[in-house]
């Protein structure tokens, strides 16, 4: 059985994105493919061969302005993909990107190892109990995004407008610790928790840049840190580039993120980011030696 608990600090781990949606902002939604299951299996195999430790499977787009998908439809999308990947017996952890307790529970019963909740257990009051009972790792993400506060540019895509903050970094840290406290009250252990500062969710371009550059302050809270900058709008708005041209910008953010303490990178471009992670690890992690 795959151990769902990783050896944080030894290396940077890659969480690779499998979007079982028709409307991913990055254009990689698998439901746009004729053979969804086969496409998912090919993508999963390629990701693992390139160095993925976790596959993050999502059935509802989290791009700014995306519509809500029912729990039933979300399960119809992802469960066949989960079961098919499990049948491949790949050496990889499976994560489900969902904020719905019923979807999480069904996915765990199918063999998933992690839950990745963009609302940090706050969108569905039953989610914390599901995670606690399953005793699995949970990604708690900081998220102050508001559905009505989205701007759209034809070339650059959509982004959330940043809400009002007093001291931005202090409030993000305080919010994350509140999520941790809520998880602990539900019986979720310290070892299960991974923090995601929520780059791209309810933050301005400037705030996203500040957050990445001060990721060490999130790391200092005492939990593994997941960073998910891949192809996001703050990179596009900084460089004036559409999602398909944000590889180099993503690489720069990932490298700085690792230097500031990121333990996990959530990415689309696995082959390239695996090299970024290996090189960055060789520079900042003294235990890493070149092959």
Average pLDDT, stretch 77-93?
Answer: 95
Looking at the domain that runs over 13-284, which CATH code has it been given? 3.20.20.20
Nearest in space to 118 (alpha carbons), one of 110, 109, 126, 127: 127
pLDDT of residue 158: 55
* CA distance linking residue 228 with residue 246, whole number of Å: 14
198: confidence class by pLDDT, cuts 50, 70, 90: very high
Phi–psi pair at 159, nearest 5 degrees: -150, 150
Instruction: Look at 31 and 90; give whichever has higher pLDDT.
Output: 90
- Please tell me the pTM assigned to this model: 0.90
Question: Which residues are known catalytic residues?
Answer: 232, 266
Instruction: Give the length of the chain.
Output: 291
pLDDT of residue 176: 98
Which tens digit of pLDDT belongs to each residue from 227-246? 999 999 999 999 999 999 99
pLDDT of residue 128: 98
Q: What residue has token string 């840190």?
A: 225
Which tens digit of pLDDT belongs to each residue from 199-220? 999 899 999 999 999 999 999 9
- Beta-bridge partners for 286: none
194: confidence class by pLDDT, cuts 50, 70, 90: very high
Q: Is pLDDT of 31 > 80?
A: no
């Amino acid at each position: 059985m795959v151990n769902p608990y990783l050896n944080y600090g030894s290396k940077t781990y890659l969480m690779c994105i499998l979007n079982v949606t028709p409307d991913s902002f990055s254009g990689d939604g698998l439901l746009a493919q004729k053979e969804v299951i086969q496409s998912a299996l090919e993508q999963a195999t390629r990701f693992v061969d390139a160095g993925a430790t976790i596959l993050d499977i999502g059935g509802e787009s989290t791009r700014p302005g995306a519509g809500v998908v029912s729990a039933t439809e979300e399960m119809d999308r992802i469960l066949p993909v989960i079961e098919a990947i499990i049948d491949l017996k790949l050496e990889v952890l499976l994560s489900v990107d969902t904020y719905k307790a019923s979807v999480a529970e069904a996915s765990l019963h199918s063999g998933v190892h992690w839950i990745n909740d963009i609302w940090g257990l706050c969108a569905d009051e039953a989610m914390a109990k599901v995670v606690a009972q399953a005793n699995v790792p949970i990604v708690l993400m900081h998220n102050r995004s508001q559905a009505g506060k989205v701007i759209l540019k034809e070339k650059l895509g959509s982004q959330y407008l940043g809400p009002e903050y007093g001291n931005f970094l202090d409030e993000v840290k305080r919010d994350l610790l509140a999520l941790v406290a809520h998880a602990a009250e539900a019986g979720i252990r310290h070892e299960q928790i991974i923090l995601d500062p929520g780059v791209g969710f309810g933050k301005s371009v400037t705030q996203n840049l500040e957050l990445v550059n001060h990721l060490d302050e999130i790391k200092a809270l005492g939990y593994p840190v997941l960073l998910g900058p891949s192809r996001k709008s703050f990179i596009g708005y900084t460089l004036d580039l559409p999602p398909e041209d944000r590889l180099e910008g993503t690489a720069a953010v990932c490298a700085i993120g690792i230097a500031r303490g990121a333990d996990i990178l959530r990415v689309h471009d696995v082959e390239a980011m695996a090299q970024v992670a290996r090189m960055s690890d060789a520079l900042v992690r003294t235990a890493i030696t070149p092959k």
